[in-house]
Amino acid sequence: MIVPKKRTALLVNRLMIALKEALEEEEERQRNEKNAKTPRVFGVGSLYSEDVRTGKKVSFSVSQYSESIFESCRLGIVSTRQYIDGFTAHDFNLKKAVAVITLPDNMVRAYDGKCPINMKKINNLRQLSRYIPEANLNFFNHIMEWPTTNEDSDD
């Protein structure tokens, strides 16, 4: 079947318009999904949206979470996950969101030099050296030069 050039141009034009509309609808759907997942802030210090009931609020306990995320774009908010890269995340507000943390000036070093590594661990690391990417070999070789010890311990 041979289609005249005018008709072909018309079909291509309609196809392009339909494709553009489909892309716009998909972008709108993605924006709506993103807005639905982002909690709305009600007042200062509150991050609970309207649909979170009192019985469903989560209390903060450091030992329950394997991953804690602090971001400079969300000052005063800690995002936590029970498992690293887990599906469910909980956001908590810090009491002092912009508090300045000052470290003590008279810090004492725990060790005078490099802490020695058990020789058995160094030998295990040497066996793994063939699996380490070239980009990280300098760091790996630097660790292999650390002082060692032959003491047996639980570490």
Contact between 39 and 91 (Cβ < 8 Å): yes
- DSSP H or E run through 19: helix 5-37
* Residue 137: strand, helix, or coil: helix
In 10 A of CB 19, how many CB atoms? Answer: 10
pLDDT of residue 131 exceeding 70, the answer is yes
- What does the pLDDT look like over 69-95, one tens digit per residue? 888 777 778 888 888 888 888 888 877
- What does the pLDDT look like over 95-123, one tens digit per residue? 776 766 677 788 888 888 888 889 999 99
Classify burial at 9, counting beta carbons within 10 Å of its beta carbon; exposed 0-12, middle 13-18, buried 19 or more.
exposed
In 10 A of CB 65, how many CB atoms? Answer: 20
Cα distances (angstroms) measured from residue 104 to each of 96, 99, 101, 107, 108: 20, 16, 10, 6, 10
Minimum mean pLDDT among 26-30, 38-42, 113-117: which range?
A: 38-42
* Residue 149: strand, helix, or coil: strand
Site of tokens 């709506």: 32
Classify burial at 39, counting beta carbons within 10 Å of its beta carbon; exposed 0-12, middle 13-18, buried 19 or more.
middle
Q: Which of 54, 53, 56, 61 is nearest to 92 (CA)?
A: 61
Res 36: pLDDT: 61
CA distance 119 to 147: 9
